[in-house]
Structure 1
Amino acid sequence: MAFFRARTTLLTTLRRTFSSSSSTPVTEAKPPKMSDYLLTNDLASQIGTSMPISMMRIGTLIHNIELRPSEGGKLVRSAGTVAKILKEPSATRRVLVRLPSGVSKMIDTRCRATIGSVSNPSHGAKKLKKAGNSRWLGRRPVVRGVAMNPIDHPHGGGEGKSKGHLSVSPWGKPTKGGYKTACPKKKNRVI
């Protein structure tokens, strides 16, 4: 098992039993113990098993979902996330899956997924102790336009906390109203 700085979850290198020379890194679903077997195409619903979605039951919690068959996992790969199978495969060979965002998505039944949730669920609860920790992650500070000088932002300058006119972007475009303001969308729509 190894933890990579670029990833938020643990990775395990599996050695295939039929070929000792090939090894594959996979994301962990609840850390396996040493010498555990992870099944790759069995009907047993064991955590960490990877199989086509057509072989899974309704209500199964899955992660690392493919969008197209044999393309590799694209969805639900972040630390601690999990998706749920909602409907059985229909005549169109698609199954309904509820993603962590709340959006339901139709996915081809030939696509593979891994049973269980991604490891390291406490990643989102981790506190950054100081501003430097955010900078190490590549996040720059967010500064209000009112706190800037007039040369830096249209809201800058003035006496006290006044900005003097409507809210605008740093480039002078209005931020509120008009066609650029998104309408609230329902999360339960099917993509």
Structure 2
Amino acid sequence: MTYAADTSLRDKMMKQMAAGSCAKILKEPTSKYCLVKLPLGVEKLIDSQCRATIGRVSNPGHNTRTLRKVGQSRWLGRRPVVRGVAMNPVDHPHGGGEGRSKSSGSFGRVSQTPWGKPTKCGRNQERKRNGKFK
């Protein structure tokens, strides 16, 4: 298991620097390239001359801690999430209406982002790319 591996001889470190993450070396570097499996499951060929740190990044329970109040979330820079239906029409396509009126925004309209792009339709999902070295 490794982390912080170079992708090429003149490149920066790879992105296995998150807490508790690691990459596995699948094929020994007998030739010029070494096969490495990244945390997302993508297998990548990297130069066998590149450096890597052996081990796992510490603090694996980093994402399991509970935030006890809203202020702790704000200290981390997270803003509150406001529904589009609760906004004014100038702020969101779903906004406006009297009280909890659904006819003003979401009823009879396609779900939209604040910028008017359709959501929940699958068109904006990117296809998976093969991450192998060419």
Using structure 2 for the length normalisation, give the TM-score: 0.79
2:41 partner amino acid: G
Distance 2:128 2:7 in 1: 23
Cα distance change, pair 152–125 in 1 and its aligned pair in 2 (3 A): same
SS at match of 1:74: coil
Q: 1:166 aligns with which of 91, 96, 110?
A: 110
1:62-99 per-position Cα deviation (integer Å, ceiling 9, x unaligned): 111112226553331111111101123364x1111111
- Calculate the TM-score normalised by the size of structure 1: 0.58
- Residue aligning to 2:87: 148
Aligned ranges 1:81-120 → 2 under 5 Å: 81-89=21-29, 91=31, 93-120=32-59
1:66 aligns with 2:66: no
Task: Tell me which residue corresponds to 2:60.
Answer: 121
Query: Higher strand share goes to which structure?
Result: 1
- Specify the SS of the correspondent of 2:85: helix
Post-superposition offset of 1:151: 2.2
- Quick one: structure 1 residues 113 and 139, their matched pair in 2 at CA, closer, same or farther if it must change by over 3 Å? same
What is the percent sequence identity of the aligned residues?
52
- Post-superposition offset of 1:130: 1.5
Aligned AA for 1:145? G
Native 8 Å contact 1:70 1:112 kept in 2: no
Unaligned runs of 5+ in 2: none
- Partner amino acid, structure 2, of 1:175: T
Q: Which residue of 2 aligns with 1:31?
A: none
The letter for the 2-side match of 1:81 is S
